[in-house]
Amino acid sequence: MVQRQRAFVSRRLLLGGLVVMLCLTGATADGDEIRGHLVLNGGGSKPREVMEKFIELAGGPDAPIVVFPTASGEPDTGEYYQELFEEDYGCTDVSVAEVRTALDAQDPLIAAMVRAAGGIFFSGGDQRRITEVLLGTPVGEAILDVHHKGAVIGGTSAGTACQSPLMITGEGDFTVITADNVELWEGFGLFSGVVVDQHFVARGRHNRLISVVLEHPDLLGVGVDEATAVWVRPDGTFKVVGEGWVVVYDARNADVRDAEGPDGRRELGVYGLEMHILLPGDVFDTGIGAPPVRDGGHR
């Protein structure tokens, strides 16, 4: 598992500035612009305005929505979300993609269902289940393609964590700020130019996100609190929606340093790390990194 992490990180670093430039412009290597939005909740409760924004961007209550309970170990997760969308929000066309194995992700019927969707929603659980099962499969490619063409991707907790290029798995020693400490896997890469963390303020996950950002200063660290979402637009801006905070760490212009600690670990330090604490209604531009602006007023 660690070997997979290291190999992926090495490949990404070799791509260098080209990857970063493509990420920050919302473009792909073939020059086509990404048209889809993201609505990513940090876990915990799912505020009504967050769910309503996802449904609106999917095309309204009658739009086809596909739920992936893949991250969850509970067999009734798909049924829970189907009832939530139908009974609480009046959605009329909700399907559950019961994709639990890589073989499930080969199913052409599920891939076709995804390609017809206006919105795709990922449940919470263990984000590793999502990427292990879906990356590089027909269903996984359908998700990327339909988002590219305009479908909204939503998620909560693990369903949020898997959307950045590098995915934090939850493994590591989060009492320190050191290199080679936080386990990273390949994510979907849809929240481009960042590494995203969830349950952020509620669970005090600052150390692990800072560690990742200092090892990968080309990526913004975006920590999304519980009952809070980032609504990510195709132009590279995101708006905070919900009840809590979003914390952004920006080391792109910082002086990152490292030194060997007493136990042999590479301890990380930095001068000039920027930190932003965003409130509901704030809008942040991931490409420019300018101070956040208010869009529609706080709360």
Positions in the chain short of pLDDT 70: 1-32, 289-299
CATH of domain 34-287: 3.40.50.880
Structure tokens at 137: 């499969």
pLDDT the model gives residue 1: 39
pLDDT at 10: 34
Tokens of 97: 């993609």
- Residue type present at position 44: G
Alpha helices in the chain (DSSP H): 2-15, 17-25, 48-58, 77-83, 89, 108-115, 127-134, 138-149, 158-161, 206-215
- Residue 122 CB partners (closer than 8 Å, separation 6+): 68, 70, 71, 130, 153, 154, 155, 156, 158, 159, 160, 162
Residues marked active site are found at 157, 199, 226
Sign of CA dihedral 123, 126, 131, 132: negative
pLDDT at 172: 83
CA 57 – CA 55 distance, rounded (Å): 5
Long-range contacts of 262-266 (CB under 8 A, 24+ apart): 265/176, 265/178, 265/179, 265/181, 266/178, 266/179, 266/180
pLDDT given at position 299: 42
How confident is the model at residue 120, as a pLDDT? 98
Provide the pLDDT for residue 28: 46
